[in-house]
Amino acid sequence: MYRYDEFDAAFVSERVEQFRHQVQRRLTGELNEDQFKPFRLMNGLYLQLHAYMLRIAVPYGTLSARQLRMLAHIARKYDKGYGHFTTRQNIQFNWPKLVDVPDILAELATVEMHAIQTSGNCIRNVTADHFAGAAKDEIEDPRPVAETIRQWSSLHPEFSFLPRKFKIAVSGASHDRAALRFHDLAVEIVKNDAGETGYRVLVGGGMGRTPYLSYVVGDFVARPDLLAFLEAVLRVYNENGRRDNIYKARIKVLAHTLGPDEMRKLIAREFAEIKAAGTLQVAEAERKRIAAYFAPPEFDVLSDETPHSADPDFATWLKTNTHPHRAKGYAIATISLKPIGGVPGDCSHQQLDALAALLDDFAMAELRVSHEQNLVLPHVRKKDLPAVFARLKSLGLATANAGLVTDIICCPGLDYCDLANARSIPVAQRISERLAARQEEIGELKIKISGCINACGHHHAGHIGILGVDKKGVEFYQLQLGGSAAEDAAIGEIMGPGFGEHEIVDAVERVIDAYLKLRRDGERFLDTYRRIGMEPFKNVAYLEQLHAAH
């Protein structure tokens, strides 16, 4: 993985001291909360319902054993013993004290971590396919591109006070595991007809109260031009994005108001000028320097057989939680952070430490965080799988549900967040408990839950999406069907009026029962929905209310 050189290290350390100075000025009253806010946000520090929350960047979701141990240490020393992995591949701590935050950041800097631009109206931490460097369907590892963008965007002088936040994702595979079409900007590594590698750039995706899918603005951006192209997009956005209404300030609104032709024209003009200036070209030597850090490990020549395990649960886990690897004798394994009835994405300090030991003991260099709030072991020797499974099981991390109905994405909701209208964690927990026994029979089904319209739980992209709303002080939940964040991206369709807190789990179960009756061979829930539409599901979902009305 990437290692800081002297310049990166000095940059992060100075950023810590800069923030320490900002915190001091806040504590002495020189800065008021309104003035402090954008600067604490640019360092990942939120003021939540009960306390500050610190969001630490995990650039493109890659973590080493040393970094995992540091996160465990921070959870113990400064928090209540656990962290929470997010849909942006980051980790959040929910209980730090303001005075401690500069020290936390200083400790993180010793393991090449930071919280730079994990929040605020700036270019956020860049995410990437969590199977990067391991996936069978990969053209090229997306992480060197993500790292190049991370450096360029760090304290960008022109783009640190944008109309709104700006999220970038990068993928280099044919399957989209990075939710590209829901990002403000997405970079897709592609090959042209001449066999050259370049980038397809998409702009204008997003969730929130007005969800949009992004569209292509650059069909094939040549490698040296990547940053010039991105700078062009950002300038168009900084100059033209709306600043009069926070709900219309994301680039998705600009992009879909102007339309692709006008957007492309504006970008082309800026791009031509920035490219001609020649100062922002990505030199091939620098690209290779960064790419070398992400070179795959030396894969051993191994048998492709997976040994037998005496544990009857192993076979299920093997089926659901491992994925094809590009090297013979290796597998990718998903570590589910969705224990049945648990809090999606939470990880204790003991688990973080134990995962570090797991990496060391099985000679694995790194762990990944997925945007689905799970962890991933990218390079597991198949011969080690039974032992790795046994270890994960002893840690409570062997839930065999990757991609199944209990593998729920869920925002913190009203239990933590001061933006939320409704609780989301308890709904996730109850759905998980209700459907766990049948999840293998149900098959791939992605449920995503947000506690408010801001859509941090990605409900628009759920095969089944659930949105918590507040109606006169009572929590209600709207159902959306048919969304997807993958290569078949779509925005879910709202079913109708919301369900009460005690009705929503039953409604979800009835929808799933209907699917089990109506599905044809091999159809996922999403396929059945796309074939037959909303009506059959709507007809059963509201049964309870109909009975209650009579």
Binding stretches for other proteins (CB under 8 A): 5, 7-8, 10-11, 14-15, 17-18, 21-22, 35, 38-39, 121, 151-152, 154-163, 227, 235, 238-239, 243, 273, 277, 279-280, 283, 285-286, 289
Q: Closest separation between CB of residue 110 and other proteins, Å?
A: 19
Tally of CB atoms within 10 A around 391: 18
Q: What is the rounded CA–CA span in Å between residue 263 and residue 217?
A: 7
Nearer to other proteins, 30 or 513 (CB): 30
Supply the minimum distance, in Å, between the C-beta of residue 152 and other proteins: 5
CB of 481 to other proteins, least distance (A): 38
Beta bridge pairs of residue 63: 367
Q: Which is nearer to other proteins, 287 or 530 (CB)?
A: 287
| Min separation Cβ 286 and other proteins, Å | 6
Strands across the sheet with 375-381, in order? 62-64, 366-369, 375-381, 330-335, 322-324
Nearest to 316 by CA among 398, 431, 408: 398
Nearer to other proteins, 35 or 174 (CB): 35
Minimum CB separation from other proteins for residue 93, in Å? 24
The three-state secondary structure class of 62 is: strand
Cα-to-chain-centroid distance, residue 31: 33
Residues written for the chain? 550
Q: What are phi and psi of 385, to 5 degrees?
A: -55, -45
Residue number, 56 or 227, with CB nearest to other proteins: 227
**Strand pairing category for 447-450 and 464-471:** parallel
**Cβ distance to other proteins smaller for residue 150 or 381:** 150
Nearest approach, Cβ of residue 124 and other proteins (Å): 15
Residue type, 503: E
Shorter beta-carbon distance to other proteins: residue 279 or 298: 279
d(C-alpha 485, C-alpha 353), whole Å: 32
Nearer to other proteins, 277 or 363 (CB): 277
Angle at 155 between CA 152 and CA 157, to 5 degrees: 90
The distance of closest approach from Cβ of residue 22 to other proteins in the complex, given in angstroms and rounded to an integer, is 7
Q: How far is the CB of 287 from other proteins (least distance, A)?
A: 11
Residue closer to other proteins by CB (options 245, 502) is 245
Backbone angles phi and psi of 476, in degrees to 5: -125, 160
Q: What burial class does residue 326 get, using C-beta atoms within 10 Å of its C-beta: 0-12 exposed, 13-18 middle, 19+ buried?
A: middle
Amino acid at 306: T
